[in-house]
């Protein structure tokens, strides 16, 4: 495999697109430079994630609008385990939220907020756990490492955009959700929602995060990997809770919005 040249850290530069390939494919070299930076170098990966997330959301919105116009409906993960009452309630909700605000605007805003807030929360929690385990790096260094370790998700967005664009259909059974056991209860819905996030890009992200933490902190391997796994797995366990909450509150009456 050819060597990528990683320029030395320059405090006068904000955008570092030449760090992308080394960070992804030569992480030991790439994250050694990233972790050594004591100022903000997170702008490039966050911009890329925001752009790919925005494009993915808009492509999915156009497909949803076309499906709604033709009378089709995209069902959520675990749909087959919903009760008839829950299915009817979901269909009512979809009919009430088929306008452009719910199809394009709100998903785009949520995608951008998800990138920014997700990065901040992951970085702060990781820094807190590392500090509790004896780490001495700053929160800025942790945020830099986390931002660059999120780049595999931008590649996942590109793959999903290409798949939706070429097929003209929304993606279903994301991640390992297709392997969820057919349990007719809340646990089945939660497990299916959790497995949506489990794929090769998540594993790639965890590996990059572990390499980045080890490159920039004085902790040994076991403590560094423990902090990474606790942070990532804990946050993804929480991300699957909204699907369970939606199933619990699916019996509420839906009032048609004004959009």
SS3 54: helix
Q: How far apart are the C-alpha atoms of 42 and 110, rounded to whole Å?
A: 20
Retrieve residue 193's tokens.
Answer: 């929602």
Provide the angle, in degrees to the nearest 10, between the axes of the packed helices 200-216 and 106-132.
Answer: 40
**Amino acid 248: pLDDT:** 62
> What is the dihedral angle through the alpha carbons of 111, 239, 41, 228, rounded to the nearest 10 degrees?
-160
> Are 112 and 194 within 8 A, CB to CB?
no
pLDDT tens by residue, 61-104: 888 877 766 656 666 656 666 777 777 777 666 666 666 777 88
DSSP for 188-254, please give it: HHHHHHHHTT-SHHHHHHHHHHHHHHHHHSS--HHHHHHHHHHHHHHHHHHHTHHHHHHHHTTTSPP
Write phi, then psi, for 244 (nearest 5 degrees).
Answer: -70, -40
Q: How far apart are the C-alpha atoms of 81 and 5, rounded to whole Å?
A: 51
> Are 194 and 174 within 8 A, CB to CB?
no
Domain boundaries, the chain: 26-248
pLDDT tens by residue, 205-215: 999 999 999 98
Retrieve residue 235's tokens.
Answer: 């946050």
Query: Once rounded to an integer, what is the mean pLDDT over residues 115-135?
Result: 94
């Amino acid at each position: 495999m050819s060597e990528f040249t990683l320029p030395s850290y320059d405090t006068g530069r904000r955008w570092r697109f030449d760090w992308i390939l080394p960070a992804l494919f030569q992480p030991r070299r790439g994250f050694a430079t990233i972790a050594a930076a004591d100022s903000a170098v997170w702008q490039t990966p966050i911009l890329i994630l925001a752009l790919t997330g925005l494009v993915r959301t808009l492509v999915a919105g156009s497909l949803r609008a076309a499906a709604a116009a033709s009378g089709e409906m995209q069902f959520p993960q675990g749909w087959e385990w919903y009760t008839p009452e829950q299915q009817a309630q979901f269909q009512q909700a979809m009919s009430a939220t088929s306008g452009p605000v719910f199809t394009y605007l709100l998903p785009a805003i949520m995608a951008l907020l998800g990138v920014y807030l997700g990065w901040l929360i992951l970085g702060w929690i990781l820094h807190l756990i590392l500090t509790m385990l004896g780490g001495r790096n700053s929160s800025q260094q942790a945020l830099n490492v986390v931002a660059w370790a999120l780049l595999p998700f931008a590649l996942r967005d590109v793959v999903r955009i290409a798949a939706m664009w070429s097929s003209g259909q929304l993606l279903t059974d994301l991640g390992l959700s297709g392997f969820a056991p057919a349990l007719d209860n809340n646990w089945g819905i939660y497990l299916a929602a959790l497995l949506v996030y489990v794929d090769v890009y998540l594993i790639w992200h965890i590996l990059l995060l572990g390499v980045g933490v080890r490159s920039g902190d004085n902790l040994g391997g076991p403590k560094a990997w423990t902090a990474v796994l606790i942070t990532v797995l804990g946050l993804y366990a929480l991300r699957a809770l909204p699907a369970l909450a939606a199933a619990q509150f699916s019996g509420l009456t839906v009032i048609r919005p004004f959009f």
